[in-house]
Amino acid sequence: MLRILAGFETATSGVVIVDGREVTGPGPDRGMVFQDYGLFPWLSVRDNIAFGPAARGVAKPQIKATVDRFIEMIGLQRFANSYPHQLSGGMKQRVAIARVLANDARVVLMDEPFGALDAMTRERLQDELLEIWARTKLTLIFVTHAIEEAILLADRVVAMQPGPGRVVSDRRIDLPRPRDVSSPEFNDLRRQLQAQLHP
């Protein structure tokens, strides 16, 4: 589904509309964070993050400020000039997330982007993602197998089952932010979604 939304594959039926225009291929209005990182191996961390803004013609001082901000956000200041082969898997995914966010796409497609990260980094990036969303109101489509993460982050949770892929639940999440994962309301929602996915 994410590959269809990104324009990498064509749907067998139906259409994808973004800002009133049909998606017929990849475009700068949609950025994707892949599970396998998708970094340019010949570019440093700094240059990977700067790639999108530079391709769009953003002024160099603004690119530097954007890159510095996201390098600090992902906690890789000491690795800013390192190359992907010098990074751990978790570090690579953090760079991939920063690269898409720095490119200022209108729709960000995220395929389990926090799955390879340690718990503390995962929580920090969840918080930062919510802050970025609050400032920009970007549309984020976030695929995760963690029901708790879906409820924590989303305004709307669409649950799918395989074989063939189909939607089994489409639910608005009306809990106030910041959300408390230990609250009875949060856990009621978690149990309901769990029951729908695993009847």
Spatial neighbors of 34 by CB under 8 A, at least 6 apart, are 96, 111
Q: How confident is the model at residue 137 (pLDDT cuts 50, 70, 90)?
A: confident
In three-state secondary structure terms, 153 is helix
pLDDT at 106: 83
* Structural domains in the chain, sorted by start: 2-141 (3.40.50.300), 144-199 (no CATH)
Q: In whole numbers, what is the pLDDT of the chain averaged over residues?
A: 89
Distance CA 35, CA 33 (A): 7
What region does 96 belong to: left with phi over 0, alpha with psi -120 to 50, or beta? alpha
pLDDT digits (tens, 9 = 90+) for 1-58: 889 999 999 988 899 998 899 999 998 788 888 777 789 999 999 999 999 899 889 9
| Mean pLDDT for the stretch of residues 181-186 | 95
Q: What is the mean pLDDT of residues 147-169?
A: 90
For range 142-163, the mean pLDDT: 92
- pLDDT value at 61 more than 80: yes
